Amino acid sequence: MRLFSALFIMIVLVVALGLWINHSLETAAQELSANVRQVSEEIKRSHWQQANRHIEVLEKNWQRTGKWWPVVLDHQEIDNIEFSLAKVKEYIASKDKVQSLAQLSELNLMILHLPEKEALTLKNIL
């Protein structure tokens, strides 16, 4: 009976940890996505200095958030986000509106895709 109780407690802890991680990923992804949308809006208005400031904020948020993501996520996905962020910074620096917006769209998609990909859903299990 003690073995069953110990196993049950361990399973509950693992499930609770998984749910907490999924919630944290979703919250962080939404926050980063909001930063991406801010940068996009500034670029659409051709406010390059503000876009540059917002991309720096996005990068700081990514550095803060991205520290713990490698523990639970595929490193390739994280590398792709970092590469995309580097590209968009350069596009903004060169004031290339089309490339900046396209790269921001891709970056946003990658950020929002991660929690969806890691969520405990029937689609991901099968």
On whether the pTM is more than 0.95, the answer is: no
Residue 58 lies in a domain: yes
Question: What CATH number does residue 100 fall under?
Answer: 1.20.120.660
pLDDT of residue 30: 94
The model's pLDDT over 75-99, given as tens digits with 9 standing for 90+, comes to: 888 899 999 999 999 999 999 999 9
Q: Which domain holds residue 20?
A: 2-120
Residue 82 maps to a domain? yes
- For the chain, how many structural domains are there in total? 1
Question: Read out DSSP for 108-122?
Answer: HHHHHHHHHHHS--H
3-state helix, strand and coil shares in percent for the chain, rounded to the nearest 5: 90, 0, 10
